[in-house]
Amino acid sequence: MKNKRILSSALFLVIFLMGMISFSFAQNQKTPNSKFELKVYCNDAKAKTTIEKELLKLNGVKTASFDIKTKILTTTFDPGVCDRLKINAVVEKLGYETMITKEEQRTKKACSDAEKNKAAPVK
């Protein structure tokens, strides 16, 4: 009887430890970063710096790079913490239009006005 109890306790301990180890490995697996490209209607070097700086403050954003020539903002972010809409919201809050800015939210900032004729209306 005593041997059965010791054996069952040892078996429970082994199963418990195996479960804890597998849980530990599952917690250490990181979700891959997502890449997001967004067209921003702006061609100002100062705006480039501002957009990149503000996006890097956003929790979950790993990198932010704005190419003035192509007007493409490329970001990598942790999808568990951040998403594309939050990235777009930061750019719009700074006063710049993007390819997904809704018509009623269009701003009247210098960069946006210069590019407004080139922007396709978003519906």
11 compared with 65, residue with greater pLDDT? 65
pLDDT at 94: 92
pLDDT confidence bin for 10, thresholds 50/70/90: confident
CATH class as words, domain 34-115: alpha beta
Query: Over the stretch 26-62, which tens digit does the pLDDT of each residue have?
Result: 555 566 888 999 999 988 889 999 999 999 999 999 9
* 74: β partners: 37, 65
Whole-number CA gyration radius for the chain:
25
Closest CA to 66 of 82, 85, 83, 90: 90
| Helix, strand or coil, per DSSP, at residue 32 | coil
Assessment of whether the complete model's pTM goes beyond 0.85: no
Boundaries of every domain in the chain: 1-30, 34-115
Distance (Å, rounded) from C-alpha 87 to C-alpha 50?
Answer: 14
